[in-house]
Structure 1
């Protein structure tokens, strides 16, 4: 029996976020990635706080965010679209919508052109609760963004969009 082990192939290079941070560029990239992670963590904590104070499940909060964004953009979503956005079955999404409707956070509204289609809308109670909790955060966000000109905000928007796309691609590959 030989005491030598078979030759191992070299390990693949670590992604830049795990390499030594020995150049200004690598240090800056690491700081940006750390801040993106911190942003995600803090955003999740805010959502968790909202859920806990309102007796909601974290999935309920994610559902409300999806509905709010689509309704705010003038394109309300259906329960099937919500299921896809949440990554759950249509039955699970219906359970979420039922729960949120009973609590007054959402309401169902039939489409005027196609009565078979039902759109999800914020309920009056849900909107009031969201404004009460998230209003101060909105004001802080407005104050923060006022410190940046349009060109700077465009770079931030493009970067965050690209990072979001990278995360989606990673999930799809995984």
Structure 2
């Protein structure tokens, strides 16, 4: 097994280690954000799941949240209740099926997240700006494959 930085096993493993380090740092920032705003780290993951669902035009239901977070029903209800008490999430009736409850992240929660995570996101956006479309496609493909590798 070749161990070179330009694409051999060692170089590829270095990229995996860097991705893991990014994930660890992001997790630490999420925990800081949670602590600074009276939340549990799971609450922050729930907000991210709900925002991702909204971006994908996917119905954000308690069931979706339960599945994505790997929680049981009681745990999911607890997270939603906490986020609602804090004013970050609201429960709304699905206009197409009044029996179904949808979860919506309130604009104030989005603003709070942008204030905290915005500087890091802007730094990342700045590093992507000079890249070619082909380079961004390569990064997207790698990150998509990485996510799929860890998705059960």
1:104 paired residue number: 87
Give the gaps of 5 or more residues in structure 1.
Answer: 1-20
Structure 2 residue 23 is matched with structure 1 residue 40: yes
Residue 79 of structure 1 contacts residue 120 of structure 1 at CA under 8 Å; is this kept in 2? yes
- Determine which of 77, 93, 108 is the counterpart of 1:125: 108
Q: What are the Cα deviations for residues 41-94 of structure 1, in whole angstroms up to 9, with x where unaligned? A: 111111111111111101101100000111122223100110011001122101
Q: Is the 8 A contact 1:104 1:124 kept in 2?
A: no
Q: Does 1:67 align with 2:56?
A: no
Indicate the structure (1 or 2) with the bigger Cα radius of gyration: 1
1:22 CA displacement:
4.9
TM-score, normalization by structure 1? 0.80
Equivalent residue for 2:34?
51
TM-score by length of 2: 0.91
Q: C-alpha offsets along residues 101-146 of structure 1, whole Å, 9 cap, x if unaligned?
A: 1101111111111101111111132122112112212211211111
Separation in 1, partners of 2:16, 2:58: 32
How many residue pairs match? The answer is 149
Cα displacement (A) at 1:28: 0.8
Give the superposed CA RMSD.
1.4
| Partner residue, 1:141 | 124
4+ residue segments displaced more than 3 Å: none
Aligned with 1:56: secondary structure? coil
